[in-house]
Structure 1
């Protein structure tokens, strides 16, 4: 599962602008895209979104996605305490 920066921010108890600012401060983002995918590719990725515009032809945009493994990693990078994972009720005998 992947999350947008807005979804990730909500999960971490931040707003999207706060998350982006903190990620830029730590050198994790350049603009709104990952600064170093060789280093952080296990946790972040770039999503390409092409679409066709009648006037301008093919248009392209890119956005950052946070992989499932990136949530806890990002919290550690930004010094955010995540709540403990809830116990799985199915584990009870």
Structure 2
């Protein structure tokens, strides 16, 4: 499962701007909020390419960073964050 930076920030107990600031501080993101080292960090982060058609401007292209499932714990370690506790539910009890 992949998450946007906003979803990853929420899971880490941060806001998106705060997560981006911390990731830039550790040189994990570049100025376009894309992975600074896409090959090194490919197990944790990836670039999502998107496109759409605009009726006046033609094809539009964008890129965004996605955090892979193992990337949540990795980000917490890289940024020195504690992962929030997972809430306990009784639904899994047999």
Structure 2 spans left out of the alignment, 5+ residues: none
Q: Which structure shows the bigger proportion of residues in strand conformation?
A: 1
Q: Which structure shows the bigger proportion of residues in helix conformation?
A: 1
Runs of 4+ more than 3 Å apart: 83-93
Q: How many residues are aligned here? A: 93
The correspondence of residues 56-75 of structure 1 with structure 2, limited to 5 A, is 56-75=57-76
After superposition, the C-alpha distances for 1:1-42 in whole angstroms (9 at most, x for unaligned) are 000000000100100000000000000000211001111011
The answer to whether the Cα contact below 8 Å between 2:13 and 2:84 also exists between their aligned partners in 1 is: no
2:59 aligned counterpart, secondary structure: strand
- Alpha-carbon distance, 1:86 to partner: 6.4
Structure 1 spans left out of the alignment, 5+ residues: none
Please tell me the root mean square deviation across aligned C-alpha atoms, in Å.
1.8
The answer to whether the Cα contact below 8 Å between 2:34 and 2:64 also exists between their aligned partners in 1 is: yes
TM-score by length of 1: 0.89
